[in-house]
Amino acid sequence: MIKEKKPPTNNNNSIDFQSSPILSLELQKQIAVAVRQLQAGETVAFPTETVYGLGADISIPSAIRQIYEIKTRPTSHPLIVHFADISQLQHWAKEIPKSAWKLASHFWPGPLTLILKRSQHVPQNVTGGQNTVGLRIPAHPVALALLNALGAEKALAAPSANRFGRLSPTTAAHVQDELGDKVQMVLDGGTCQVGLESTIVSFDNEDATVLRPGGIPISALEAVLNNKITLSNNRKSIVRAPGTLASHYAPATPLEVCPTQTLWQRTHELEAQNLRAAVISWSVPTSVHITNNNIVQFSMPQEPTTYGNQLYATLRQFDKKGFDRLLIEAPPGDPAWLAITDRLQRACQKKS
């Protein structure tokens, strides 16, 4: 029987995550099945408010091995550990800085991952051998129901449910597309509300650093800590330095990010080379008619939250259409676009 859930507290001020967990009877039944699968050491893909995760019980080594195999992910890459209730934080982490407590109590459940010293309850095969662990309470009713049903002192390792280096899935259909029958079960919780991965924060004593920009803006973290937060060096640059970053969050079609000023010039260059290109832009409010059959223009939202929500689905959609190139207009420089800029930057790196 699935425990009835209290709505997750939404204290993220401006961000209203899916906070009314009224789950259909069918979904409740599926969650019960998912719990049995997970207890038997199998993997289950489940929705979170950011992207779909590929879950496994962290206490079952063979289940964790399966995650790495299914994703073809190197075992040195640590997984994020998801759990249901902040009262369990000290079970999974130790020597927790005050600033981490502040962020956790303000933003959880929500798109924030905290990197903390791992307790002895977190096995090293989950953390890629490191003594730290990434922890998060997701704000999705299905994820929370699943984690609650698993019980106290249980947690799910869940990387994004895509093959290593590829686009994260934001619908159950995307998970099927990515992993096919390699994944034993997919819980369908609809389209993910945020659409980009969680913001990852690490700590040096009380000083917080953002390792990956994501669903929670840095300004919101700073407002809670009343302190400046550093952005990790390898996430800062808007200037492209090809080859310096491993390709990640990437469609199979080569992707190019181009400043607004030169977007059309670049389009004409591709056209002159007889290449088929999809031009994905935000500054053109509605799709324009282009006479050349090789070029298609598609307009994205001009507001970062909705743009972020649609980004992966849009790239996935165009990736299937046989274009030679996806030409993406560089997002505005405003900090609200940081996570989007970061993902696009990584998506256009050369494949290693």
For residue 120, count other CB atoms closer than 10 A to its CB. 6
Query: Least distance (Å) from ligand TXA to the CB of residue 322?
Result: 27
**Smallest separation, CB 300 to Mg ion (Å):** 22
Selection from Mg ion, ligand TXA, none that 132 binds (CB < 5 to 8 A by kind) is ligand TXA
By C-beta, is 12 or 160 nearer to Mg ion?
Answer: 160
By CB neighbour count within 10 A (0-12 exposed, 13-18 middle, 19+ buried), where does 186 fall?
buried
The entry of Mg ion, ligand TXA, none near residue 169 (CB within 5 to 8 angstroms by kind) is: none
Residue 160 interacts with ligand TXA (CB under 6 A)?
yes
Q: For helices 218-225 and 98-107, what crossing angle results, to 10°?
A: 120
User: With respect to Mg ion, which residue has the nearer C-beta, 160 or 349?
Assistant: 160
Contact indicator for 121, 92 with CB cutoff of 8 Å: yes
Q: How far is CA 5 from its chain centroid?
A: 24
Q: Which is nearer to ligand TXA, 77 or 321 (CB)?
A: 77
Residue 47, contacted partner among Mg ion, ligand TXA, none, CB below 5-8 A by kind: none
Task: Compare residues 134 and 251 and give the one whose CB is closer to ligand TXA.
Answer: 134
Q: Which of residues 29-88 bind ligand TXA (CB under 6 A)?
A: 48, 50-51, 53, 77-80
The residue (of 68 and 323) whose beta carbon lies closer to ligand TXA is 68
Q: Where does this chain touch ligand TXA (CB under 6 A) — which range of 33-41, 178-186, 192-200, 277-285?
A: 192-200
- In the list Mg ion, ligand TXA, none, the entry touching 133 (Cβ below 5 to 8 angstroms by class) is ligand TXA
- Shortest Å, Cβ 198 to ligand TXA: 4
CA angle 207, 138, 198 (to 5 degrees): 50
- Interface ranges with Mg ion (CB under 5 A): 160
Cβ density class 243-280: b for 16+ within 10 Å, e for less: eebebbbbbebbbebbeeeebeebbeebeeeeebbbbb
* HSE value, Cβ hemisphere, 13 Å, CA-based, for 327: 23
Residue with smaller CB distance to ligand TXA, 19 or 132: 132
Q: What are phi and psi of 112, to 5 degrees?
A: -135, 130
Structure tokens at 57: 């019980």
Nearest residue to the partner Mg ion, using Cβ:
160
DSSP state letter for 299: E
How many Å apart are CA 247 and CA 22, to the nearest integer?
39
Report the interface residues with ligand TXA, using CB under 6 A: 48, 50-51, 53, 77-80, 111, 113, 115, 127, 130, 132-134, 136, 138, 158-160, 197-198, 200, 211
